[in-house]
Structure 1
Amino acid sequence: MSPHEAPAGHAPDPVTAPESLPAAVLWDMDGTLVDTEPHWIAAETSLLGRYGAAWSHEQALALVGSALPDSGRVLAEHVERSTGVVLDAGAVVDELVEAVIAQVRAAVVWRPGALDLLGALGEAGVPCALVTMSYRNLAGTVAAMLPGAFSVVVAGDEVERGKPAPDPYLRAAELLGVDPGDCVVVEDSPTGVASGEAAGAHVLACPHMVPIPAAPGRSRVASLAEVDVAALGRIAAGRPLDTVPVG
């Protein structure tokens, strides 16, 4: 018997047995992979300000993670209530997307730990998907900065129902040919977390601009720099972790 073989009838040593891996990791983009939320807030504030409508930081935070058509409607209705000016919600979204694309092209800011974790997943052979409520033109801009990192990109203008509905993550799992229940979703907003959980995936929340409460089965970390591939494997196996300080 080879010195590396376990005796017949004995399980492998749990210390040396390889960790299981997620079938796939499904990444949110804005606020999770790229720090674009300040760009969205700045674009909203600028657009509304041109019409004389005030827009508070708290109002902006309420839209974090939302589907863009929903955000466009909220903003258009806010301008009409505040000033009487009627705006087309679709045109509002188009302007916001173009403004954020310009900001990303000028200077992209990656979230701490995100690129290292993405690279480690690639080395481990774990497929990744980018699942975002941003439209394809913005999602494609970001994905092109990381060639080969994502096997699939699902954008907000390619699903009938956006987050918090499960459709975006279900679509990503379908395109990858994996069961959502074997995947880990990485998110930064309550809306995105709700979408991942509704899809039946294991969710790792890394709160950024909006707090995410603890919940049974939900994993939370203060930074993706705390996470490695083995940790994602444990999450996918139903062993959640939570390192976010209480209070």
Structure 2
Amino acid sequence: MADVTVAHTFLPADYTAHLFDLDGVITPTAEVHMHAWADMFQRFLTSRGIEEPYTGADYYAYVDGRPRYDGVRTFLSSRGITVDEGTDEDPGIQEPDTETVRGLGNRKNDLVLSLLRSEGVAPYPGTVAYLDALPRTARLAIVSSSRNAEEVLRAAGLLDRFEHIVDGNVATREGLPGKPAPDTFLHAARLLGVEAADSVVYEDAVSGVQAGASGDFGAVIGVDRGAGRAELTAAGATFVVADLEEIS
């Protein structure tokens, strides 16, 4: 059911820039990431003889929306597990015994890429309708922790919709801290030449909503794909919808 409050009080045309998270907002790849994290972490815990399983609650609390290696560190820390940091070149699926922060993160990324290439990806219809309904003067950017954002957008047929992509590769190159820090969203607004107050953030992750809220953006729209309406609201969402079609 559409949220009447959002439809009546939030007007996209009131804002110049629209900054979209990718996984879970534009495409359902959040589910792919969720499954890959679960596969990787459960195999890791089992290999160490740890009986307490990795759960969906762990994903939302420690991993969702964070840069890949931050997600590894945060989850392992929650279990009191310490491993070496490793390097970006540590192998993933090819050598599953490489139990470093970056090796585990790379293993998860290999799983995601394998799933994307075998199954493909289609954008959320409601999101496409929302993009179509935005004013022609709207300035659009993707702000994603993923390092595969361009590949996903190309597969979804939406790459040409966005002027800029601020992803994990850009964050690393520019030295920008990842979500829940607001820096990647602020960087996207700067690239568009638009003030934060005249920009809207669209996020499905608690950490992403926190990033938008702490950046003093004009509005933060939480898209509830599983994180929870109450949790997204508590994180600082101006409004929470189940799908962007509610406000298109």
TM-score, length-scaled by structure 2: 0.74
What pairs with 1:150-189 in structure 2 (closer than 5 Å)?
150-159=162-171, 160-189=176-205
Uncovered stretches (5+) of structure 2, i.e. residues with no partner? 1-10, 84-96
Aligned in 2, Cα 1:119/1:99: closer, same or farther, shift over 3 Å?
farther
Name the amino acid aligned to 2:54. Answer: W
Q: Give a deviation string over 1:72-117, Cα, whole Å, max 9, x none.
A: 223555788499x872111222222232123233221423411111
Cα distance, 1:37 vs. partner?
Answer: 2.2
Alignment of 1:84-233 (within 5 A): 87-105=99-117, 106-121=119-134, 124-135=136-147, 138-144=148-154, 145-159=157-171, 160-201=176-217, 202-213=219-230, 214=233, 218-228=238-248
Contact 1:189 1:211 in 2 (8 A): no
Q: Distance in 2 between matches of 1:41 and 1:114?
A: 20
Other structure's SS at 1:130 match: strand
Which of structures 1 and 2 has the bigger CA Rg?
Answer: 1
Give yes or no for contact 2:17–2:139 (8 Å, CA) kept in 1.
yes
Distance in 1 between residues matched to 2:149 and 2:143, nearest whole Å: 9
Structure 1 residue aligned with 2:67: 67
Which position in structure 2 is the counterpart of 1:32? 25
- Aligned-residue sequence identity (percent) comes to 27
Secondary structure of 2:161's aligned partner? coil
| Distance in 2 separating the partners of 1:120 and 1:104 | 28
For residue 157 of structure 1, report the CA deviation from its aligned partner: 3.4
Query: What whole-Å deviation, never above 9, does each CA across 1:104-160 have from its counterpart, x for those lacking one?
Result: 332214234111112233x6231110000111xx10112223131010000123222
Q: 1:22 aligns with which of 15, 22, 42?
A: 15
TM-score by length of structure 1 reads: 0.74
Identify which range, 52-61 or 199-208, moves more after superposition.
52-61
CA contact (8 A) 1:69 1:89 kept: yes
Q: Structure 2 vs 1, CA of residues 117 and 39 (structure 1 numbering), >3 Å: closer, same or farther?
A: same
Which one has the bigger helix percentage?
2
Aligned residues: 207
Change (3 A) 1:19 1:133: closer
After superposition, the C-alpha distances for 1:201-222 in whole angstroms (9 at most, x for unaligned) are: 1111111111143368712222
Q: Secondary structure at the match of 1:162?
A: coil
Distance in 2 separating the partners of 1:141 and 1:19 = 27
CA contact (8 A) 1:112 1:223 kept: no
Q: RMSD of the alignment, in Å? A: 2.8
1:45 matched to 2:58? The reply is no
The answer to whether the 8 Å contact 2:16/2:137 transfers is no
CA distance in 1 between partners of 2:102 and 2:24 (Å) = 23
Task: Determine the structure 2 residue equivalent to 1:238.
Answer: none
Query: For 2:168 and 2:159, how far apart are their aligned partners in 1?
Result: 20
Residues 169-178 or 94-103, more deviating:
94-103
